[in-house]
Chains A and B, each alone.
Chain A
Amino acid sequence: MRIEVRNISFSYNPGQPDEAKILDGISFAVESGTFTGIIGHTGSGKTTLVQQLNGLLKPSSGTILAGDADITSGKVPMADIRRKIGLVFQYPEYQLFEETVAEDIAFGPRNTGMPEEEIEARTREAMKLVGLEYEQFAGRSPFELSGGQKRRAAIAGVLAMKPEVLIMDEPAAGLDPGAHTAILEMIENIRKETGCSIILVSHNMDDIGRYCDQVLVLDHGRLVLSGTPDEVFGRAGELASYGLGLPSGRALIRRMQALGAAIPEEGILTEEQAADAIEAWWKEKR
C-alpha cells in the first residue's frame, strides 16, 4: 500500500500563546514494498511524524493518503487503518502484558474479532517471521524472556495484524551489536517475505545506508532533505549542520579522500562496499 503525506503540520495547543509546532509542512510518499528511513536529531519530530501515519495523532493541517483513503478525513474507520499500518514503538517490550507470548501476540488479531483458527495461524506465522520457535516460546511468560526475545515477541504482536506498512521506531535501541544486526536483518526479511513496506526511524546511519531505498531527513519538524541514501549521504556538510553523520563506510572513504586517496565515494554506503572500493583502489595504485 502506498502512503502519501501532503503538507502536514502538527502542533500542540494550536492557536494558543504556548503553541508548540512539532511538524511543519511535511510532504513525501512511501511506495508499496519499499524501505524508507527517517533520520533526524533527537526532538526533530520523527516519532510524532510516524504517529500521524496510523492515526494515533491527527495533523493540525494537511492530508495523509493510505492507498486511496484519506485517513485525516475522519471518514475512514481507525481500526482499519491501524490494521493496515502497523506501528512498533520504541522499546516495544515494555508493552507486553499477557500471561503467555502467544496470547500477547494474539491480542491484536483478537481485537479485530477474527476466528480462533485464524488467530492461531497468524500467531504462528508472526512468531516464525521474528524467529521465535512456536513450540519453545508460545506457552512461556513474556516477562521471563531475554531483552532481545521480548522485543521480537512485541514485534510479532504487530506483525500478527499483517500490516501492509510496518513502521518501526528505533527497533534496535538498547540492544547489543549482535542482536542489533539480527533485528535489522529480520526486518529486511519480513519485507521480502510479506511484501510490506517498511518505515524505519533510526539514529544509526549504517542501518539507513544498508537497507533503505529512500531517506527522509527531519530537522526541527521540517523535512530538510530526501532522496536515495546515496543522494542524501552525498551532502555530508548539510547533514552535519543537522547534527547527523554518515554511514561508517562512507565516512572512512571521505577521510581517505581528505588524506589524498582518489577513491570515489558515490554508491558507498556499507562497510563492505567501502572495503571493496579500497581494495580496488589499492590494486590499481600498485
Chain B
Amino acid sequence: MIRDITLGQYYDADSVIHRLDPRVKIVAAFVYLVMIFFVRDFIGYLFVGAVLAAVIIASGVPLRFIARGMRPIMFILLFTFLINIFMYRGAVLVRLGPLSITDNGLKQAVFIALRLVLLIFGTSLLTYTTKPMALTDGIESLLRPLRRIGVPAHEIAMMMSIALRFIPTLLEETDKIMKAQQARGADFESGNLFQRAKSLIPLLIPLFVNAFRIAMDLAMAMEARCYRGGEGRTRLHPMKYRRSDAAAYVLLILFAVLVIVQSRGLLPIPMLWEV
C-alpha cells in the first residue's frame, strides 16, 4: 500500500537530465516554482507546459510513472477545483440549487488546477532524476554561502540524508509491528474513522519508541566513528560543473525571462483568458 507511492521516488535512468549537476536541478526547480506563479494567462501555461514536456521527454521518465505520482494528491486537486468553481461571481453557466458555476469560476478553477498539476509534475521531476544523496549534497553546497549568517548547511543536509535513509527502515518496521499486532488479533482495516484511528495506537507507539531507539543507536555509532560535523570533511564524489550544466543555466535564464516578459504583457501576442 505505502510502497505504491511514486511521488518523491528516484527513477533510475541515464539521461541528460539525470546527468546534470544536482545544484542545477535544484535551482531550476526553484526558479520553475516561482515562474509558475508569474503566469497570468493560458498562453503562459501553454509555454510552461511545453517546456516541461520537453524536459520530461529528455529525462526519459515515463509519463505513466509521473502520473502515478499524482494519485495521492488527486483529492486535494479535486477539492481545490470544486471550491474554486463555485466561488466566483460572473455570468452563470450552470445552476445547482444554491450553488452556481460561473464563467469566472470555471476559468479560475481550471487555472488553479493547472497550476497545481504543473507544480507537482515539475518539482517531482527533481526527485525522479536526482538520487537522494546527490540532492542533499546539492542542497548543502547551495546553502554553504549562508553559513556566514548562521545557517547550519552541513547539519541540515545531514539531517535530510538521514531522514531519507530511514524511510525504508521505518516502512519495514511498520510492516513488522503491524503483523505482530495482527497476530494478536488487531484489526487495522475495518470500523469507522474513529475506530480506525484508535486501532493505530498499537502501531504508532511501538513505531515511535523504535524510531527513537534507532536514532539513539545511530547517534552513538556516528560519535564512535568520530563524527564532528561538516568542518574539514571531504566528499567521496566532489561536485563539479560541466559544460552541459552551464548550458542548462543559460536555458533556465531564458525560460525565466520569457515567462516574465509574457506575463507582463510585453510580448506582441494577446493574453488568453487572463486571470
Contact = CB atoms under 8 A, between A and B. Distances in A.
Nearest to A57: B179
Given A86-B183, A94-B213, A111-B186, 9 more contacts: A82-B182, A82-B184, A89-B180, A94-B206, A95-B177, A95-B181, A97-B205, A107-B181, A111-B184
A271 B119 CA distance: 69
A45 to B, nearest CB: 16
A134 interface: no
Contacts of A97: 201-202, 205-206, 209
A84 to B, nearest CB: 11
Nearest to B185: A111
A51 B209 CA distance: 24
Interface in B125-139: none
B130 to A, nearest CB: 24
Nearest to A87: B183
A56 B177 contact: no
A51 B178 CA distance: 13
Nearest to B177: A95
Contacts of B184: 82, 107-108, 111, 157-158, 161
B185 A82 contact: yes
Nearest to B184: A108
Interface string A113-141: 00000000000000000000000000000
Contacts of A202: none
B209 A143 contact: yes
B210 interface: yes
B185 A158 contact: no
A94 B177 contact: yes
B155 interface: no
B183 A89 contact: yes
Interface in B183-219: 183-187, 201-202, 205-206, 209-210, 213
A56 B182 contact: yes
Contacts of B210: 94
Nearest to A92: B180
Complex A-B, nearest 4 residue pairs according to Cβ-Cβ distance, in ascending order: A111-B185, A108-B184, A97-B205, A95-B180
Contacts of A89: 176, 179-180, 183
Given A51-B179, A94-B177, A79 B185 contact: yes
Contacts of B182: 56, 82
Q: Please classify the interface of chain B as helix (H, G, I), strand (E, B), loop, or mixed, using the class held by over half of its residues.
A: helix
Interface string A151-186: 000000110010000000000000000000000000
A89 B179 CA distance: 9
Interface residues of A, number: 22
A96 interface: yes
Q: Max chain A CB contacts within 10 Å: which of B182, B184, B206, B213?
A: B184
Interface in B205-248: 205-206, 209-210, 213
Interface string B1-27: 000000000000000000000000000
Nearest to A96: B206
A111 B202 CA distance: 12
A119 to B, nearest CB: 12
8 contacts: A56-B182, A79-B185, A86-B183, A89-B179, A94-B213, A95-B202, A97-B205, A111-B184
Contacts of A94: 176-177, 206, 209-210, 213
B179 A56 contact: yes
Nearest to A83: B185
Contacts of A86: 183
Q: Max chain A CB contacts within 10 Å: which of B183, B185, B202?
A: B183
Nearest to B186: A111
Q: Max chain B CB contacts within 10 Å: which of A79, A83, A107, A111?
A: A111
Given A94-B209, A94-B210, A97-B205, A112 B179 contact: no
A207 to B, nearest CB: 22
A240 to B, nearest CB: 31
Nearest to B208: A97
Contacts of A111: 184-187
Contact of A107 (B176, B177, B179, B202): B202
A248 to B, nearest CB: 31
A112 B184 CA distance: 9
A238 B202 CA distance: 44
Contacts of B186: 107, 111
Contacts of B187: 79, 111
Given A94-B177, A94-B210, A54 B183 contact: yes
A97 B176 CA distance: 14
A206 B183 CA distance: 28
Contacts of B181: 95, 107
